[in-house]
Structure 1
Amino acid sequence: MERSEMRSAIDELSLLAATVNHVPIKPFLALCNLVVQVLDKIGPTMTVLRQDIHHNIQRLENFHDNDPSIYWDVVEILKKEANEGNAKKGPTCSKAFVALKLVPDSKTLVNILKVEDEDDDTLKEEMQNLISLLMPVLEQNKDILKAYGLDKLKCT
């Protein structure tokens, strides 16, 4: 039976969650590759992000392949680059890994979306309103495309 990317991601994350102060490279890279597969499904609008993630995966894989017995863990790779003073110079594994900081945590995302002094409940209500208003517009757009036989067009 074929597993969804979501189910596969859950499996990989459960392997990573069991470790403390270590990030085993194989499950981490498997998870990253699942992200790339999801971006592929979304389509060509995600090409730049997909390529960036793919290059970062390759960088980590190449480092690991140089000596898998030492670099079985992302933390060991980061330590080596930091100790050598290379972590911030050029295209490094450290930069590839720290790129995860670009994804905000839930609290940060909520704070970005809220206006000053707005509470979480008001933001939630506004988001629900936006979604309820947006859904009919998206459905209408789909119907229009379908009416003209354009519903199977792919983005370029």
Structure 2
Amino acid sequence: MERKRKEMDKGKSELRLAMEELRLCSSQGDEEQVEVQEQPRSSTMDLLSVSKQLIRVLDEIGPTLLVLRQDIQQNVQRLQDLLERDSSKYASLTAIVTEEVGQGTAKKTNSCTRAIIWLSRSINFSKYLLERLLKAPESSLEEIVEEAYGNILKPWHGWISSAAYKVALKLIPEREVFVGQLMGDCQDIEVLAEDAKMLAYAVQPLLEEIDAVLAKHNLDKLKSS
């Protein structure tokens, strides 16, 4: 079975494989919800699925963005633990944030609201990086990562996090290596570009929900402690 799956996956980029895994997770989640009762999609599960696939892509790249990977993993675990406590109550990201705002804990260092904020920013960072990678073929990967970091993450980082990313920049591989890892067995850059566009389109509704609830409670500009 595993061998057959690997054969079917040949010719697909890591981004395409991530998207297919996300669709599988979403469809399974929908089936479970129908069996219990008619409910809206679980945006918490969607965020966890997207974030886990992002970790998978980062693993393919290697130790370059280890700081980002560790941050994503910690935030995923925090939300995962909450969801396991009550999957119905915390199915919605909006419900999680609203509850913590009411309790006065949303801005605390270990809050799930902060986990949602940083997972959203990590996804936005990755989207920006992919878009620039494909639109600026003359730029080095180091330049692109630095630009993505400066625009998406740096405004919200304290000096400790910023220092860690400066160290990570020294580990950036060559652009060709990075693209090769993303492409996998897919050797068509146009196919990779299309996969990146499809992935960005797929996660947009999720990011919009997060942006809306954070802006409503004036949490969208929350910085790292």
TM-score w.r.t. structure 1 length? 0.57
The reply to whether residue 39 of structure 1 matches residue 58 of structure 2 is yes
Unmatched segments (≥5 aa) in structure 2? 27-39, 141-173, 176-225
Question: What is the CA RMSD across the aligned residues, in angstroms?
Answer: 3.3
Query: Cα deviations across residues 49-77 of structure 1 (Å, max 9, x unaligned)?
Result: 11110000000001111111211122211
The reply to whether residue 92 of structure 1 matches residue 101 of structure 2 is no
Highest CA radius of gyration, 1 or 2?
1
The reply to whether residue 101 of structure 1 matches residue 121 of structure 2 is yes
Decide which moves more: 52-61 or 97-106.
97-106
Aligned counterpart in structure 1 of residue 94 of structure 2, from 69, 75, 94: 75
Aligned twin of 2:16: 7
Aligned twin of 1:145: none
Give 1:7-156 correspondences, 5 Å limit.
7-11=16-20, 12=22, 24-99=43-118, 100-101=120-121, 103=124, 127-130=136-139
- Residues of 1 paired with 2:91 and 2:65: CA distance? 30
The alignment partner of 1:58 has SS state of helix
Q: Is the 8 A contact 1:22 1:74 kept in 2?
A: no
The alignment partner of 1:63 has SS state of helix
- Residues of 2 paired with 1:27 and 1:92: CA distance? 19
TM-score w.r.t. structure 2 length? 0.41
Q: 1:91 deviation in Å? A: 1.4
The alignment of Structure 1 onto Structure 2 pairs a total of residues equal to 112
Q: 1:25 deviation in Å? A: 1.8
CA 1:7–1:85 in structure 2 vs 1: closer, same or farther (change >3 Å)? same
Q: 1:10 deviation in Å? A: 2.8
Q: 1:47 deviation in Å? A: 1.6
